[in-house]
């Protein structure tokens, strides 16, 4: 290869590299509703080897040619939308009996009620909403004083059941991620509460009830010792259903 041809090749390579750098641009893409952590993986996948993108606060810093950046802006505008406002209803219908000593089992809930057993809360799409219900269960203690007389005392202990519901909507279909905790009185120790938690995902139609669980259980705790006894008993037949409605 002659010196002239070698120089032409080097010059062409320099011009190509210079042209590529000239076409590339760096732009800041602000986000309005979604976080940069949510959309950064999408932006990286879209650009591939044609550019680079990084997050700074709630904005994306994009380095690519102008045409590619405009295409990315168009894609992000479809994803960076305001979350829907939702009304989540949880039906925790249950029938509770009195305890063995005649004390009443008290049901309670932390969300607004819409009829018996239905708890409601307003939230935004993608934001976990807590709906918590439970019972105040009677715990009776008996003891004998120094004169040989029997004395009894009843106090109430809260046993809770909570639901973290995260909803997303696609058309008429709602997708639910549900994290639950279910406390119950221990059968072995009346002064202890067992805690059970579960995570699940389910889908259904917007505005319709989705059944999560239906069960019947009974818990009894009893401990006997010298001149002292603790006891509590209760039964609940419970159906768990969730309904999501759009407020828009």
pLDDT for residue 180 is more than 50: yes
- For the segment 162-190, the average pLDDT, to the nearest whole number, is 74
> What is the SS3 string spanning the chain?
CCHHHHHHHHHHHHHHHHHHHHHEEEEEEECCCCCHHHHHHHHHHHHHHHEEEEEECCEEEEEEEHHHHHHHHHHHHHHCCCCCEEEEEEEEEEEECCCCCCCCCEEEECCEECCCCEEEEEEECCCCEEEEEEEEEEEEEEEECCCCCEEEEEEEEEEEEEEEEEEEEECCEEEEEEEEEEEEECCCCCCCEEEEEEEEEEEEECCCCEEEEEEEEEEEEEEEECCEEEEEEEEEEEEEEEEEEECC
High-pLDDT (> 70) share of the chain, %: 57
Average pLDDT, the chain: 71
The pLDDT of residue 233 is: 38
Lowest mean pLDDT among 8-17, 30-39, 54-63: 8-17
* pLDDT attached to residue 127: 87
The residue ranking higher by pLDDT, 90 or 16, is: 90
Read off the pTM: 0.53
Give the tens place of pLDDT for each residue, 74-125: 999 998 988 889 999 888 665 444 444 444 444 444 444 444 567 788 988 8
Q: What pLDDT shows up at residue 154?
A: 79
User: Looking at residue 74, what is its pLDDT?
Assistant: 93
Overall average pLDDT of the 150-159 stretch: 74
Query: pLDDT at position 155, please?
Result: 77
Tell whether the model's pLDDT for residue 142 goes beyond 90.
Answer: no
pLDDT of the residue at 100? 44
149 pLDDT more than 70:
yes
Digit-coded pLDDT (tens) for 190-226: 555 555 555 678 899 999 998 876 544 433 333 333 3
């Amino acid at each position: 290869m002659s010196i002239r041809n070698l120089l032409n090749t080097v010059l062409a390579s320099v011009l190509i590299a210079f042209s590529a750098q000239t076409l590339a641009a760096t732009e800041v893409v602000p986000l309005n509703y979604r976080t940069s952590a949510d959309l950064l993986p999408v932006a990286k996948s879209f650009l591939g080897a044609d550019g680079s993108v990084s997050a700074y606060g709630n904005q994306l810093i994009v380095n690519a040619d102008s045409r590619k950046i405009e295409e990315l802006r168009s894609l992000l505008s479809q994803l960076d939308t305001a979350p829907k406002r939702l009304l989540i209803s949880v039906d925790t219908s249950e029938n509770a009996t009195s305890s063995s000593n005649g004390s009443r089992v008290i049901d309670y809930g932390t969300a607004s009620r819409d009829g018996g057993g239905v708890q409601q809360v307003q939230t935004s799409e993608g934001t976990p909403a807590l709906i918590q219900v439970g019972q105040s269960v009677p715990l009776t203690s008996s003891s004998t004083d120094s004169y040989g007389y029997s004395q009894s005392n009843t106090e109430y202990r809260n046993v809770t059941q909570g639901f973290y519901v995260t909803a997303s909507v696609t058309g008429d279909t709602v997708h639910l991620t549900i994290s639950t905790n279910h406390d119950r009185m221990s059968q072995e120790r009346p002064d202890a509460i067992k805690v059970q938690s579960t995570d699940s995902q389910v889908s259904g139609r917007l505005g319709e009830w989705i059944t999560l669980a239906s069960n019947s259980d009974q818990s009894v705790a009893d401990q006997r010792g010298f001149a002292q006894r603790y006891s509590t008993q209760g039964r609940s037949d419970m159906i768990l259903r969730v309904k999501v409605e759009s407020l828009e």
